[in-house]
Amino acid sequence: MSAREQAAAELAPPPLAKAALAAAPAATPPPFDRFRFRRLYFAVMLPMFLAAVDQTLLATATPVISRELGGLRETSWLAVAYLLASVVMVPLYGRLGDRFGRRKVLGLAILVFATGSLACGLAPTLGVLVAARVVQGLGGGGLMTLSQALIGEVVAPRERARNQTYFAIIFTLASVGGPVIGGLVVHHASWRWLFLVNLPLCALAFWRLRSLGGDDRMYPTQGKPDAAGIALFALVMATGLIWLSSAGNRFAWASPVSLGLVVATLAFGAALVVAERRAERPFLPVELLRLPAVRYAVLTVMGFASAMFFYLPVYLQLALRSNPAESGLLLLPLTAGIVGGAALTGRIIVRTGRPTAIPSVSLSVAALSLFGLALLPATKPILIALEVTTGFGLGGVMSVMQIVTQTAAGPARLGVAAATVSLARTLGSSFGASAFGALIYGLIGSAPVLNAGRSPAAEASVRSAFEFAFFAAALLCTSAAWAASRVPALRFDGDSAVSVTTVE
């Protein structure tokens, strides 16, 4: 078999999906219409922004919520509850969108998210607020996934790359503007408005989505729904996230509770693997993970997302003694690098039609920059320069992996493809946040690092902890670069049609 035939065989759908593909109408995106793209963009930008900004908004309100409702340590469940519900729903929304129409299911997700936001804003106790966050997460799990799938449904991959700057702006506004907006709202009004303001935004998003018109594309499915897979996946995520977020904080890493959660996670995970292999219509996208393009894209995204949580804001305040306002300004070079990297990536794909080499090179640049943070003197000019190059490297990953995954999956499985990438990013982010937090605070130990006149030993422990963290993040980027290099080479021919070929 030639290299070209082998690549075509790898990207072919599995037998179970062939009947659905045969019955589905051709769904090649039409020639690029900028007006149509802008209408779609302004319809999905709000759901995407709401999904991206949720956690950054709430971070600034946590101390205030704990003072009003009680229980500072229990407020960590606000993030865990939302994350757990949204992670469980991501694969399900992908399947539902492909089956019943992505626009229709995205509208349902917006309504559920709005209902949860209203309940959060009116919550009288912390327990009710945590429960409301679960409802909010049940809707939030579909916002990003289905928005990305809708873009993939009507815009060819090469043109998606051309317009990646628009989506980079959304994530930049969410990451930079979220804490600022949250701080202003909490300072001048009430934390409840952080949730209640979602209601008019959700109403506007729902109206814009409905105004698009047109019939949703629906793709028939075969086999029984995988109820066992859904339940087991929820149990795996519940036990795993509780362990990651609580070990070393609520209980010791080697305590019986910690070991019990690890054993339960592994047991549920093993049962999930067995159930998915036997299922007629698996809940998880196992049919996509059989494709090398998707499998290595998922590994790339997980490594990339884990490396992004290297606690730079904490480093700026603890190691460089920056105040909160100054540390916020010092994060702007990283953000500018990410936006610049995403914009350049889009232009390169449009010009060459060859996307798959970009993430490997970009992640290598990010890895070298992180190694520089670990080894070079901690001066602000060096820090700013390395932030720009780190962000530039990280900005060339997500858009390419999203496009590659959707191209490999085909039009009938765009929802599942978008859900696969979203799930990989969420899992990577969860692992990175927990692992880097455990590494840094474990190395710092009990040294009084918050004191203005801390000892030289405490100073050394802080710097050493972050040097190890930067080094670990660099290794993660290096691993992700390797995974990206294993993605089969693709080439996009033309704007209105996509051909997947081997690049000789």
Query: Quick check: do 28-216 and 285-504 share a fold?
Result: yes
Q: What is the spatial distance between Cα 194 and Cα 120, in angstroms, rounded to a whole number?
A: 9
232: its two tokens: 């087991």
Give the DSSP per-residue string, 128-159. Answer: HHHHHHHHHHHHHHHHHHHHHHHHHHHS-HHH
CATH number of this structure's domain 285-504: 1.20.1250.20
28-216: CATH, from 1.10.1660.10, 3.40.190.10, 1.10.760.10, 1.20.1250.20: 1.20.1250.20
Amino acid sitting at position 65: I
**pLDDT value of position 368:** 95
Instruction: Please choose, from the candidates 500, 491, 490, 407, the residue with its C-alpha nearest in 3D space to the C-alpha of residue 155.
Output: 407
Query: What residues form DSSP beta bridges with 247?
Result: 251
- Domain ranges across the chain: 28-216, 227-278, 285-504
126: its two tokens: 């912390």
116: its two tokens: 């949860």
Q: What is the spatial distance between Cα 42 and Cα 367, in angstroms, rounded to a whole number?
A: 35
Give the DSSP per-residue string, 218-284. Answer: -----S-B-HHHHHHHHHHHHHHHHHHHHBTTTB-TTSHHHHHHHHHHHHHHHHHHHHHHH-SB-SS
Give the DSSP letter of residue 14: P
Helix, strand, coil percentages, rounded to 5, for the chain: 75, 0, 25
Report CA-CA distances (Å) from 123 to 62, 75, 196, 276, 418: 14, 14, 11, 38, 33
Which residue ranges of the chain lie beneath pLDDT 70? 1-37, 55-56, 59-60, 62-63, 71-76, 152-169, 171-173, 175-180, 183, 187, 213-223, 245, 248-249, 309-311, 313-314, 317, 323-325, 327-328, 434, 445-455, 492-504
Give the DSSP per-residue string, 166-227. Answer: HHHHHHHIIIIIHHHHHHHHHHHS-TTHHHHTHHHHHHHHHHHHHHT-SPPP-----S-B-H
**pLDDT value of position 14:** 41
Number of residues that make up the chain: 504
Give the DSSP letter of residue 310: S
Q: What is the spatial distance between Cα 391 and Cα 485, in angstroms, rounded to a whole number?
A: 20
Report CA-CA distances (Å) from 64 to 58, 60, 78, 130, 386: 10, 8, 13, 15, 35
First to last CA, the chain: 15
CB atoms within 10 A of CB 2: 8
**Percent of the chain beyond pLDDT 90?**
13
